[in-house]
Chain A
Amino acid sequence: AQTVTQSQPEMSVQEAETVTLSCTYDTSESDYYLFWYKQPPSRQMILVIRQEAYKQQNATENRFSVNFQKAAKSFSLKISDSQLGDAAMYFCAYRSAVNYNQGGKLIFGQGTELSVKP
């Protein structure tokens, strides 16, 4: 079974600074998807960034980028120029690529609570 681990329950960053959230996962599959989701106080889940395992290039979305290390099974999220609105719970998630056309369940890490100091 696949597992996702986020070892940082809480992180703090100064506004405009950079912060990196860690995530490791365990799987025996070779093809899968990885995601970072943000859950603000409203509790609405928002997709931040996604990475396909077959792609070597790290995904980027504006101020958000990942460091995907497939061999090490590591998938960290870097937030640059942190803003007050980035304060939220961040979840790392894994999705198998098997049966991709049927939709697939997400396996979430424990979450990292990010606070942004003005």
Chain B
Amino acid sequence: GAVVSQHPSWVICKSGTSVKIECRSLDFQATTMFWYRQFPKQSLMLMATSNEGSKATYEQGVEKDKFLINHASLTLSTLTVTSAHPEDSSFYICSAQPFDRGWTEAFFGQGTRLTVV
């Protein structure tokens, strides 16, 4: 099956620093990837749609300058949390949909637990 790899699995950073999270599709090309945020015991909330070779599309209420997304290749999208603050602490998950699944079946990365201290 299709594999989406996310790195790192967990990260602790100091308030005011930036953190980069990588999302890779290992065995398929993904022109579009999605970034979600999940708080404990809550649902996944879409943050943005990452588009290869173009600007990301952000959901309403998501600060594009805070959450920088770059999709420089067909297998890699990155999410950078800039000037992180404790309220940015959360679980971030990426997903992508392979062509051979008709783009309908989403595969998810393992997620990244971000803790800002």
A103 touches B93 (CB 8 A): no
> A45 and B42 in contact (CB under 8 A), knowing A103-B96, A105-B34, A106-B34?
no
Interface check A78, CB cutoff 8 A: no
Known contacts A100-B102, A106-B46, A106-B106: A43-B91 contact under CB 8 Å: yes
Q: What is the CB-to-nearest-CB distance from A2 to chain B, in angstroms, rounded to a whole number?
A: 12
**0/1 interface trace, chain B 31-60, chain A, CB 8 Å (1 if under):** 111100010011111100100000000000
What B residues does A110 contact at CB under 8 A?
Answer: 42-43
Given the complex of chains A and B, what is the CA–CA distance between A47 and B103 in angstroms?
14
User: Of B41, B45, B49, B104, which one neighbours A95 at CB under 8 angstroms?
Assistant: B104
Total CB contacts across the A-B interface at under 8 A: 64
User: Among the interface residues B43, B46, B97, B111, which one has the most CB atoms of the partner chain A within 10 A?
Assistant: B43
A102 pairs with B93, CB closer than 8 A: no
Q: Is B78 located at the chain interface by the 8 A CB criterion?
A: no
Across the interface, B104 reaches (CB within 8 A) one of A33, A89, A91, A108, namely A33
Taking the complex as formed, is B76 at the interface, i.e. its CB lies under 8 A from any CB of chain A? Answer: no
Given A43-B111, A44-B110, CB of A103 within 8 Å of CB of B32: yes
Residues of A within 8 A of B38 (CB): 43
- Whether the pair A104, B108 counts as a contact (CB closer than 8 A) is no
Q: Confirm or deny: B105 has a beta carbon within 8 angstroms of a beta carbon on chain A.
A: yes
Contact of B95 with A by CB under 8 A: yes
Residues 64 to 117 of chain B near chain A (Cβ within 8 Å): 91, 93, 95-97, 102-108, 110-111
B21 close to chain A: CB less than 8 A: no
* In the complex, chain A residues 76-114 whose Cβ is within 8 Å of any chain B Cβ: 89, 91, 95, 100-111, 113
Q: Which 4 A-B pairs have the closest CB atoms?
A: A103-B32, A45-B108, A103-B97, A108-B43
